[in-house]
Copies of this chain bind each other. A is one copy, B any other.
Amino acid sequence: MIDVLFVEDEAKLALIVSESLETKHFRVRHCTSGSEGWNSFIHSRPDIVILDVMMPQMDGFTLASKIRQQDSDVPVIFLTARGTTEDVLHGFKLGGNDYLKKPFDIDELIARMEALLKLAKKYHPEEELSIGKYTLNPIKHILHLDGAHIQLSFRESELLKRLYERRNQVVYRREIVSEFWNNERFVTGRSLDVFISRLRKYLKEDPSIQIVNIRGLGYKLMVV
Contacts and interface: CB of A to CB of B under 8 A. Distances in A.
| Chain multiplicity (copies) | 2
Contacts of A89: 107-108, 111
A92 B111 contact: yes
A98 interface: yes
Contacts of A207: 140
Contacts of A168: 122, 125
Nearest to A93: B111
A224 interface: yes
Interface of A: 73, 85, 88-89, 92-93, 96-98, 105, 107-108, 111-112, 114-116, 119-123, 125, 127, 139-141, 153-155, 168, 207, 210, 212-215, 222, 224
A141 to B, nearest CB: 7
B85 A105 contact: yes
A192 to B, nearest CB: 16
Contacts of A155: 215
Contacts of A112: 92
